[in-house]
Amino acid sequence: MEFNNLKAALFVVIAMSMITTNDAIVKHITQVFNVGQIMFLRGAIICIIFALVMKYRRQPIFNRQTLHRWNLLRALFELCATLAFLTGLSMLPIAVASTLGFASPIFLAMLAALLLRENVGLDRWLVILVGFGGVMLITNPLAESASWAVIFPIICAFFVALRDIAIRFVPHDIPSSQVAFTNAWIVMLGGGIYSLYQGWGQAEPSWYLWFFALGAALYCGYLFLIIGSRLGELSFISPFKYISIIIAMMYGYLIWGDKPTLTMIAGASIIVVSGIILVSTEKRRNRIALLLPGTAD
């Protein structure tokens, strides 16, 4: 198979721009809507988009395959990750929430060793520890200005890692569109239930227009991400996902006046480098496993 890495990288950059724009809009409308409302209304629009696209492609919207326990469990992990991230995003600068959310490769490597019994090795454990050092720099728990809300994007990163582990057990005969649609409706239902607990706030009709922008931005983001993943080598395009951190910093400064500190920049750099190393190592191990089964450990 021939790859077009440069074109793929461009699609990934566009995708992450759309996804981060979605985060910025979410943070903006949290002044009017609670997290549960946002999850439900945004999820409803995304579900409608998915249903229309699958109907156009003559794909079944629901089938028994999607009720596979690992597919449902993966979607529940996505629900927990979304709930944690949006809660943190509503209380933290967008750059802080976005950067800490990218700590998932660190958790993924750790959980792969603990749950999947993978042989991580001393070198990868050192990278994991360094990555957590970057997390500690950003959270800075000893500072007087430290916010307890930083725990939410960290929880999000943990559940994203669990989600990525769960996908390994989802049967390959379940199409990616069905996996994504399962995520969408479970997150929507979870948000709806949570909104009942939080209370359904009122807003001017014009505020509801933001949800169309949310649905479009998130759908386009995921679509371009899938296109980029198919066009290029994952080991090449993965680092381009971290462009989201830079975009989040720009949004934070231009919209909310959040100036990144030196510790924030240093911590973000450590997390990015650690994540790239862990992702690259994982791809290399997978290639070795395909070529020489039984030698990846």
Residue type, 242: Y
Residue type, 258: D
Say if 242 falls within a structural domain. yes
Looking at the 3D structure of the chain, how many domains does it have?
2
Do both 20 and 38 map to the same domain?
Answer: no
Do both 85 and 174 map to the same domain?
Answer: yes
Residue type, 46: I
Say if 297 falls within a structural domain. no
Do both 81 and 191 map to the same domain?
Answer: yes
Q: 89 is in which domain, residue-wise?
A: 29-214+263-291
Do both 37 and 111 map to the same domain?
Answer: yes
Say if 39 falls within a structural domain. yes
Say if 250 falls within a structural domain. yes
CA distance 39 to 83: 8
Do both 88 and 163 map to the same domain?
Answer: yes
Say if 107 falls within a structural domain. yes
Say if 178 falls within a structural domain. yes
Residue closest to 219 by CA, chosen among 22, 81, 9: 22
Do both 89 and 105 map to the same domain?
Answer: yes
Do both 69 and 101 map to the same domain?
Answer: yes
What long-range pairs does 166-169 form, CB within 8 A, spacing at least 24?
166/70, 166/73, 166/74, 166/77, 167/74, 169/70
> For residue 88, what is the enclosing H or E element?
helix 69-91
Q: Kindly tell me the number of DSSP H helices and DSSP E strands found in the chain.
A: 12, 0
Do both 272 and 161 map to the same domain?
Answer: yes
Do both 76 and 138 map to the same domain?
Answer: yes
Whole-model pTM: value is 0.86
Cβ contact 15:222 at 8 Å: yes
Say if 296 falls within a structural domain. no
Do both 231 and 144 map to the same domain?
Answer: no
Do both 70 and 164 map to the same domain?
Answer: yes
What is residue 61's predicted lDDT score, i.e. its pLDDT?
76
Say if 131 falls within a structural domain. yes
**DSSP structure class, residue 32:** T
Q: Which token pair is 76?
A: 């529940």
Do both 135 and 275 map to the same domain?
Answer: yes
What is residue 295's predicted lDDT score, i.e. its pLDDT?
46
When computed from its CA atoms, the radius of gyration of the chain, rounded to whole angstroms, is 19
What is residue 135's predicted lDDT score, i.e. its pLDDT?
92
Please identify every stretch of the chain with a pLDDT value under 70, giving residue numbers as ranges: 1-2, 142-146, 234-235, 282-297
